[in-house]
Chain A
Amino acid sequence: QVQLQESGPGLVKPSETLSLTCSVSGGSISGYYWSWIRQPPGKGLEWIGYTYYSGSTNYNPSLESRVSISVDTSKNQFSLKLSSVTAADTAVYYCARRRVGVVIFENWGQGTLVTVSS
């Protein structure tokens, strides 16, 4: 069973760039799509974007100008960068594997809380 684990700073200053990495174990990153989803404290879920193992990407139009998702197949990892963050970007960030052929999320990491504050 594939396992995902998010890592990165838990505190980011306003206007800076949030950077997170998701490490995939128990299976290869190749052949699948890999996603980021976030959840502000006490609120619902928001899809951020996904990358194919080949590097092609698709982003939520509402975040597209600030988001970049990349993949490193040699390390079995993929990463999220979100620029110009504000307090509204404070959330638990989840990485997840997207099912091939449909945009549903079948395996999730445990999530990591990122707080935007000075």
Chain B
Amino acid sequence: DIQMTQSPSTLSASVGDRVTITCRASESISSWLAWYQQKPEKAPKLLIYKASSLEGGVPSRFSGSGSGTEFTLTISSLQPDDFATYYCQQYSSSSYTFGQGTKLEIK
């Protein structure tokens, strides 16, 4: 199975900050990476696919980059609605594994 490792596990930041979350794959997944946002007691929401393509309706302050084994999700200017847990997911191989999550907290 391809293992997905996110860092940090928890990130404290303030409204207006620029934040970056990293996701590393245990082997190359090309650009087959998605990012999801999950709020407490809610289902995940698709934000980004193919590493850098923004899902329709997602604010442009969200962006993704990377290829191969290292990927990042950047939020350019944090808004109150962005405090949530973020997961990456690889869809290169048939276990379609998720990272363990990064919880974005208010500082």
Contact = CB atoms under 8 A, between A and B. Distances in A.
A binds B: yes
Nearest to B42: A110
Interface stretch (B17-25, B67-75, B89-97): B89-97
Contacts of B34: 104
A51 B106 CA distance: 39
A108 B87 contact: no
Interface stretch (A23-31, A55-63, A71-79, A82-90): A55-63
B43 A109 contact: yes
A46 interface: yes
Classify chain B: how many residues form its interface, as a range: 20 to 34
B44 interface: yes
B94 A105 contact: no
A109 B19 CA distance: 29
Interface string B66-107: 000000000000000000000101010011111111000000
Given A43-B100, A104-B91, 19 more contacts: A44-B98, A46-B98, A47-B95, A58-B94, A61-B1, A62-B1, A94-B43, A94-B44, A99-B49, A102-B49, A102-B50, A104-B46, A104-B49, A104-B89, A105-B36, A105-B46, A108-B43, A109-B43, A110-B43
18 contacts: A45-B87, A45-B89, A46-B98, A61-B1, A61-B94, A62-B1, A62-B95, A96-B43, A99-B49, A103-B91, A103-B96, A104-B34, A104-B49, A104-B91, A105-B36, A106-B55, A108-B44, A110-B42
